[in-house]
Every structure is written in structure tokens, then in C-alpha cells.
Amino acid sequence: MALPASTRVRSAQHEATERIKAYILDHRLHAGDALPTEAELMTAIGASRSSVREAIKTLSALDIVEVRHGHGTFVGRLSMSAMVESLAFRSMLSSASDYTVLADLVSIREMLEQGLAGRIIDGFDAEQERGLSTLARAMHDLAELGRPYVEEDRQFHLLLLKPLGNELVVQLTGAFWEVQSRVAPSLAVTEEDWLRTADAHVEIVAAAAARDRDRLHAAIEEHYAPVKNHIRALAQ
């Protein structure tokens, strides 16, 4: 029995998508490298023009390729933007009684930073301390004025982990932070929470500088306590 036309089209598009991914790997292309023209790709992977175009759209949405109009198609940055969009959407779909996705995400962030506490301390140096201290003081000053400090918080956590030299950890942290920041307005965080969290950032720097792992664990736990309390209250 022949497959419906729509099924055959989807199958051809999926096959073209997988073949383009294989082409990138087989030719050892990297982020920013140019892909062949549409006609050349058709020949290289043995697919129709429509299948190649739909495959490029799919891969572009995943940030695997980047289409620069007037210039061509290039290997993308391979960021986690697709995951961020998916997790943020899932979190915002949750009802007031179901904040499971956000709760899990916050727990992962906490466990990740606590699990890496020893390595954070081992690699902590004066330059990192200065950068983190500057951000922590800025957060504290903004909190005392009753103002949020979203960008400073993002920079703090990326800088805390960047010296580890693990780019995937930094990307995951940035992705999880982005999801949390999008959903956070629904938690109705108070000015007291902003100040408590800012103080926790100050303590994280002090604990790392003192090379006290237990103290750093406690400071990280204190940092995530306000948002975890809000999630538990909303889930009741």
C-alpha cells in the first residue's frame, strides 16, 4: 500500500535534513563555515529543491544553520536557543498548581553550581573575584533601590563558571538562566527577595575567596531559596 503524499513529503524533508547534518559532519565544517549553494546541496545529498529548502528551514530553527539573505547559508552557532524556547514555553504553559518544569530547572541550576563548588574554588583568582564582587555590589545597590538586576545576575553566574573551561556548562547555565528569567515575573518576587538574593551573591564571592567549600554550598543554597519558596507556595 502506497504512503499518502503528505507522509512521503515529510519523509523526504526529514531525510534531507539528516543528510545535510551528515554533510556538515562529513566535511568537518564549523560554525560560520559556508554551505554549498542550494543547487549544489541538491546534488550533494540527492534531494529535491523543495526538500532542501524545508530542511534548511528546520535546521535554521534549531540554529544548526544560519541563512544570511544575499550571502548564502552557513553553519550556525549551534546554540541552545531551541531548548530555551521549548523549556520557557513549557514552563509558561504550567498552571498555578503545576510549576514542575520551573522547579526542576531551578534545582538543576543549584545542583550544578554546588556540584562544581570544588572546581570553582580551585580556579578562583583575584581577577574573577574583582569581577564577581563588582557585579554583586551592583546587585545589592539596585536591590536597595527596589530595582531588579536581571543582566547583572546573568553575568555573575556565567563569570562564576566560565574559568572552569567547560563551554557546555556555561551554555547550559546561560540557557537555564534565560528560561528562568522569562518565567520569573509570574512568581511575584518581592523587594525583600531581591535584596536577600543579592546578599547571597555577595556571600558566594566571599566563600569562594575564602576557599571554603561548605560555606560556598550554603551560599548557593541561600541564593536559590527565595525562588524555590515562591514555587512551593504557588504549587500548594
Residues 102 and 196 in one domain: yes
Summarize pLDDT for 146-183 with one digit per residue, the tens.
Answer: 888 888 999 999 999 988 988 888 888 888 887 777 76
Residues 137 and 183 in one domain: yes
Domain that holds residue 178: 81-235
Residues 160 and 50 in one domain: no
Cβ proximity of 52 and 38 under 8 Å = yes
Residues 147 and 107 in one domain: yes
User: Quick one: what percent of the chain has pLDDT higher than 70?
Assistant: 83
Winning range, highest mean pLDDT, from 47-56, 139-148, 210-219 = 210-219
Q: For residue 177, what pLDDT is reported? A: 81
Summarize pLDDT for 42-55 with one digit per residue, the tens.
Answer: 999 999 999 999 99
Residues 93 and 210 in one domain: yes
Question: How far is 194 from 22, CA to CA, in rounded Å?
Answer: 47
28, 66, 108, 179, 223 from 95: Cα distances, Å: 45, 35, 21, 16, 25
CATH number at residue 70: 1.10.10.10
Domain tally, the chain: 2
Q: For residue 3, what pLDDT is reported? A: 43
Residues 215 and 98 in one domain: yes
Residues 106 and 66 in one domain: no
Q: What's the mean per-residue pLDDT of the chain?
A: 85
End position of a domain, from candidates 14, 41, 75: 75
Cβ proximity of 176 and 153 under 8 Å = no
CATH number at residue 147: 1.20.120.530
End position of a domain, from candidates 75, 95, 116: 75
User: Quick one: what percent of the chain has pLDDT higher than 90?
Assistant: 50
Query: Between 66 and 172, where is the model more confident?
Result: 66
Residues 136 and 23 in one domain: no
Residues 71 and 137 in one domain: no
One-letter amino acid at 28 equals: R
Residues 86 and 181 in one domain: yes
Residue 46 φ/ψ region, left for φ over 0, alpha for ψ in the -120 to 50 degree band, beta for the rest? left
Strands (E) across the chain are located at 65-68, 72-75
Write the DSSP assignment of 3-52 as a string of letters: PPHHHHHHHHHHHHHHHHHHHHHHTT--TTPBPPPHHHHHHHHT--HHHH
Closest C-alpha among 16, 13, 67 to residue 43: 16
Closest C-alpha among 80, 49, 59 to residue 17: 59
> What is the chain's length?
236
Winning range, highest mean pLDDT, from 91-95, 181-185, 217-221 = 217-221
Q: How confident is the model at residue 77 (pLDDT cuts 50, 70, 90)?
A: confident
Residues 110 and 200 in one domain: yes
End position of a domain, from candidates 75, 104, 136: 75
Residues 148 and 69 in one domain: no
